[in-house]
Amino acid sequence: MSLLFKGRPQGASDTRVGLWQMLSMLVISHIRQALGSLGELWRQPAASLMTIGVLGLSITLPSTLYILVKNTEKISAGWEQASEISLFLKQQTNAGSAQQLITRVKTWPEVDKVTFIPADDALKEFQQLSGLGDAMAYLKANPLPDVVLVTPGEKHVSPQAARALLDKLTSQREVDVGKLDVEWLERLYAVLNIARELVTLIGGLLFISVVLIIGNTIRLNILSKRDEILVMKLVGATDAFIHRPFLYTGFWYGLLGGLIAWFAVIIILWWMDSSIQAFASLYQKQFNITGLTGTALLTMLGVSILLGLVGSLISVQRHVREIEPR
Amino acid sequence: MIKFEQVSKTYPGGQRALSKVNFHIAPGEMAFLTGHSGAGKSTLLKLISIMERPTVGRVMINGHDLNVIKRRQIAYIRRDIGMIFQSHQLLMGKTVFDNVALPLIIEGYTHKETSRRVHAALDMVGLRDKARDIPIMLSGGEQQRVGIARAVVNKPPLLLADEPTGNLDPKLSMEIVRLFEDFNQAGVSVLIATHDLGLIARMKYRTLTLKDGRMITDGLSDDLQENAR
């Protein structure tokens, strides 16, 4: 008795815990509750693995799609750099006018490189490459025009920008016809846009389902600990103290789910790598698929943890409040 | 310590549990609260422990007006009230030590201080050697004593006991009440709700009697015996 009530003023509640002790014990309490939550998951391996697995796979799908879209963008970026606009000059354009056009176009900010191919050079190249060299000898005059090849600058390689540049170039008085084969590029961009939107849509839906799944799992967890929560409230536990173990459970679900998603993405990319290599070799191309970068991995883990926390937070805010001693 | 001013409580549905109850328990005082089933004892204890709010009137506990406190203050006010229940309200999956340590862990005591105080509390209720047991292994009387140890472990200035001897034989009941007397002598205010008039008669303490939600007597247990005759 003397030990328990030593130094206690009669009938008055003195300050029992100092600020420093309170802060240090808060940290210890957080660590204890975090490890306790991990222990709870460990003690129910089947149920925990199912929830973590659902979360992991839900994050794997948008992550994999994201990587595929990024890699496709990388490939298409290579194609874009090779894209050129061919300007066929009017037959009456002389060398001086052609040179003026080249000098003018070179000053445009949208243009990276300008190459002039005189009609004679074009004819020679055609004779060599077409295999019609002998037939060409019977022509009275060179039917090919002078050609100017314009390579758009880095910021003007998208189909829309390249098309705008083409319009600008063809409006020049020396130019007869301009050609830019961007339809296939536009189709690719459209497909990529759809893919990007699909990633966002699928990701959004899966993320919502993850929040609901975790919220429901935590709800069941709360209900199974109803008596414990009641007793804790009766002996003076704050809502924050009661919420913490459940929030840590959500955190662990998120972290472990994110790690599962990471491993799943690595396996999927490894699985697909040989098929992609085989496909690339058909085009005499060497292509190495790019996996998750450090930033992307951290983002994925961050999103996963956030989903776990949001799911558990929604659940504890709603269901712990409902449990009140009566 | 505890002050009721014209307190009435009507539950949703119109059931009136308390009607214009007035009383005051001073710091360091020990009192019994009695009355038949349905007299309003449990409602009165629920008002003190902030499980319910009064419909009319004012309840003051340790200087806090329960009519105006915010929800987040409730936990802190409850830390100053040691509550003992007839049903013990123990966590059956945890050890006796963990059950008794719960209020200290919540308040942020160090592990060393928690251990020291839990063992002191268990020693006081005669259960020092049961610290590692789980409550289901204990008898009803022992479980009640675990509940008492938990209620006093953080040295609250006020102890509330709701039928603490309800399931115990007379000898054990007397032991439990003697424990409350010990706490009271250490300066703790004690309010014990019981319908065991025999137990009250054996003690010489102030007794509040409720009938149909009204306070009908407030005096020493001897007076109560006189009134009963």
pLDDT tens across A81-104, in order? Answer: 556 888 999 988 888 898 999 999
Is residue A21 scored above 50 in pLDDT? yes
Mutation site for B-interface testing, chosen from A19, A235, A322 by largest number of B Cβ within 10 Å: A235
Q: Which residue has the higher pLDDT, A143 or A88?
A: A88
Q: For the segment A123-139, what is each residue's pLDDT rounded down to a tens digit?
A: 888 877 777 767 777 77
Mutation site for A-interface testing, chosen from B78, B119, B136 by largest number of A Cβ within 10 Å: B78
A252, exposed or middle or buried, with CB in 10 Å at 0-12, 13-18, 19+?
buried
- What are A22's two structure tokens? 């309170």
A7, exposed or middle or buried, with CB in 10 Å at 0-12, 13-18, 19+?
exposed
Is residue B190 scored above 50 in pLDDT? yes
Distance between CA atoms of residues B21 and B14, nearest Å: 18
Contacts of A235 in chain B (CB under 8 A): 78-79, 83, 102-103, 106, 150
Contacts of A239 in chain B (CB under 8 A): 72, 75
pLDDT at A77: 64
Check if the beta carbon of residue A311 is closer than 8 Å to that of residue A249.
Answer: no
Check if the beta carbon of residue A114 is closer than 8 Å to that of residue A148.
Answer: yes
State the average pLDDT over residues B37-61.
Answer: 92
pLDDT at A23: 83
Helix (H) or strand (E) holding B112: helix B111-124
Q: Mean pLDDT over all residues of chain B?
A: 89
Distance between CA atoms of residues A56 and A301, nearest Å: 10
Contacts of B52 in chain A (CB under 8 A): 326
B164, exposed or middle or buried, with CB in 10 Å at 0-12, 13-18, 19+?
buried
A316, exposed or middle or buried, with CB in 10 Å at 0-12, 13-18, 19+?
buried
Q: Quick check: pTM over 0.90?
A: no
Given pLDDT bands bounded at 50, 70 and 90, which one contains residue A196?
Answer: confident
Distance between CA atoms of residues A236 and A231, nearest Å: 9
Please name the residue that has the structure tokens 């189709």.
A187
Is residue A12 scored above 50 in pLDDT? no
Distance between CA atoms of residues B156 and B80, nearest Å: 5
For residue B108, give the nearest of A3, A12, A17 by CB distance.
A17
Q: Which residues of A193-206 are buried (b: 16+ CB within 10 A; e: fewer)?
A: eebbeebeeebeeb
Distance between CA atoms of residues B13 and B9, nearest Å: 12
Q: Do A234 and B90 touch (CB under 8 A)?
A: no
pLDDT at A13: 43
Dihedral of CA A315/A318/A320/A322: which sign?
Answer: negative
State the average pLDDT over residues A57-82.
Answer: 77
Apex B6 CA angle, B3 and B7, nearest 5: 75
Q: Residue A322 is which amino acid?
A: E
Cα B112 to chain centroid distance, Å, stands at: 28
The distance in angstroms from the start CA to the end CA of chain A is 31
Chain A nearest-CA distance from B110, in A, is 7
pLDDT at A316: 95
Helix (H) or strand (E) holding B215: strand B214-220
